[in-house]
Amino acid sequence: MGIARIVGFMLVVAGTVFLVTAYRATGSLSERAVETFTGRYSERTQRDLVLGAAGVVGGVLLIAFGGGGGRRRR
């Protein structure tokens, strides 16, 4: 297993943590109040949702295509 795939797994885990915490934050009382008045989530929650999604997608791409497949130099 190459270093790119290891980094991919780490990105998937970190992205999942960001997504779960941001999703749980959307149900909080303060977040619901902000959404009621502004029509959107707070900037921090939006940022965490985007970072989490990007981390998961980037990690999956690294796992799928980060193997290299070419010859190694000796």
* pLDDT tens digits along 1-55: 788 899 999 999 999 999 999 999 888 888 888 888 888 888 888 899 999 999 9
DSSP class of residue 35 equals H
The answer to whether the beta carbons of residues 70 and 7 sit under 8 Å apart is no
Looking at residue 34, what is its pLDDT?
84
Looking at residue 54, what is its pLDDT?
96
Task: Quote the CA–CA distance of 29 and 11 in Å, as a whole number.
Answer: 30
Task: Quote the CA–CA distance of 7 and 48 in Å, as a whole number.
Answer: 20
Sorted by where each begins, the domain ranges of the chain are 3-65
Instruction: Give me Rg for the CA atoms of the chain.
Output: 17
3-state secondary structure labels for all residues of 59-70? HHHHHHHCCCCC
* pLDDT tens digits along 54-70: 999 999 999 999 866 65
